[in-house]
Amino acid sequence: MSKVPANLKYADSHEWVRDNGDGTVTIGITDHAQALLGDLVFVELPEIGAILAAGDECGVVESVKAASDIYAPIGGEVFEVNHELGDSPELVSTDPYDAGWIFKLKLEDANQVADLLTAEAYGELVASEA
Amino acid sequence: MQHTPFYQKHLEAGAKLVDFAGWEMPIHYGSQLQEHKQVRTDAGMFDVSHMVVLDLQGTDAKPYLLKLLANNVDKLKEPGKALYSCMLNAQGGVIDDLIVYYLSETSYRIVVNAGTRAKDLAWMQQQLQGFNAQLTERSDLAMLAVQGPNARAKVFSLMPADEITIAEPLKPFYGAQVGTWFIARTGYTGEDGFEMMFPAEQADKVWDALVGAGIPPTGLGARDTLRLEAGMNLYGTDMDETTSPLVSGLAWTLAWEPTARDFIGRKALEAEKAAGVQQKLVGLVLEGKGVLRNHMKVVCEAGEGEITSGTFSPTLGLAIALARVPVACGDHCSIDIRGKLYPAKVVKPVFVRHGQSVLS
């Protein structure tokens, strides 16, 4: 079974969102998403300064077998990306919720975090897709 | 969905199974990258029992193959010698690529692809008319490929001495009957090793013995990255019925001599050559980070082309591809990746042999 940490929020496009409590969030792809892709070999990071609306394509994760878009789960401005992934894309596979984070957003509306899926709801979504 | 004799073993080994040409086959057993490395540095085994083994027998077996195949079976003089060939249609398009083993003047073994089984058999039967020979499908056999620098030694560790004396001297691209088995020093990875055919009822026992000898199972995912690194074509991807061997990097498999041998497709290929071959199959290496994928557009000064097989090379840590490009394409090109152009080098279509990079 894939891990779904209870302290995070989720999007149905399989990103996780960590509320940093200061109007910013950290975003990555879920354990379930990385497991479906297999060994990751390349991450195309979002551009710093990009203004994203919820649902916008903003990057790509690529495994040996497939490429998968990364979507913004929530609207905001990209202010930091995980440059470690340039040389070590496998961090997304081995540590998706911590060292494998992908980008950070400055939120346009911090209240929108509440609209994302809870861990429980995301866990049910994953179970229903299995 | 069809299953090979190793299906239960795949499940026990934790395989992730996918549909491959109607067969439920292992794509990997946990990590494609690790399995790839295992074959490049040690040994791994692949279930290739979905491939189609055909025995051809009869007094006209040889004249039939001289007409059917674009390569020349008359090159085969020693029992067990293998030949790689295309089987063409009248337009010079590739119906399939295959390996044919010479057993005697009246007996050959042919291995064709799983995905083309029905059309291959129909075509081969149709061409048999007027020849005194019979084709027999050997679905009673299981087939494993054991590949890697240590593959042969590990197989020998399981063999009785009298069988080793037959299998050990086999040169590359030779096979031999060893009891109820047929063992050939062939493969699809660019590494040393064997492809082994044996009665399907032995499947469980053979699998367990090979795993016990340190040859873990390897999925079709790694098989694809290994063959692409080795610069080997994949049927249906790098060539098909709409492309001739001349534009598919397979001109080396065409036997033009003797000129009197009128193999199927010869006239179309001669016309294509006379008119001037328009495209070529090359290797590509992406200069920056990223991954090359099938069907990406290739832009060079001489015009546009297309990636036929693209991937990330685990051995090189770079994106590589086979691509069909205009014949005048030079040493550099650009690849359209999601709407942006990225520079790539054009190289000979072989990237890794015997575990080592062959890129200069």
pLDDT value at residue A1 = 66
Q: Which residues of B touch A62 (CB under 8 A)?
A: 290-291, 312
Question: Could you say which of A60, A62, A64 has the minimum Cβ distance to residue B221?
Answer: A64
- B33:A67 CB<8 A: no
DSSP letter string over chain A?
-----TTSEE-TTSEEEEE-SSSEEEEEE-HHHHHHH-SEEEEEPPPTT-EE-TT-EEEEEEESS-EEEEE-SS-EEEEEE-THHHH-TTHHHH-TTTTT--EEEEES-GGGGGGSBPHHHHHHHHHHH-
Using only the alpha carbons of chain B, give its radius of gyration: 20
Q: Could you tell me the residue ranges of all domains in chain A?
A: 13-108
Interface of B with A in 239-298 (CB under 8 A): 289-291, 293
Which chain B residues contact residue A38 at CB under 8 A? 28, 31-32, 221
| Residue B193: per-residue pLDDT | 98
The 10s digit of each residue's pLDDT in A28-70 is 999 999 999 989 999 999 999 999 999 999 999 999 988 999 9
**How confident is the prediction along chain B (360 residues), in pLDDT tens digits per residue?**
999 999 999 999 999 999 999 999 999 999 999 999 999 999 999 999 999 999 999 999 999 999 999 999 999 999 999 999 999 999 999 999 999 999 999 999 999 999 999 999 999 999 999 999 999 999 999 999 999 999 999 999 999 999 999 999 999 999 999 999 999 999 999 999 999 999 999 999 999 999 999 999 999 999 999 999 999 999 999 999 999 999 999 999 999 999 999 999 999 999 999 999 999 999 999 999 999 999 999 999 999 999 999 999 999 999 999 999 999 999 999 999 999 999 999 999 999 999 999 987
From chain B, the residues in CB contact with A41 under 8 A are 33, 291, 312, 314
Residue of B291, B292, B307, B338 to mutate, interface with A, max A Cβ within 10 Å: B291
- pLDDT of res. A42: 96
Distance from CA of B62 to the nearest CA of A (A): 41
Q: How far is B148 from chain A (nearest CA, A)?
A: 20
Predicted TM-score (pTM) of this structure: 0.93
Interface test with chain A among B226, B309, B312, B336, by most A beta carbons within 10 Å: B312
Mean pLDDT of chain A: 94
The reported pLDDT for the residue numbered B349 is 95
Cβ neighbours of B289 in A, within 8 Å: 42, 86
Q: Give the pLDDT score at B65.
A: 98
The CATH number that domain A13-108 falls under is 2.40.50.100
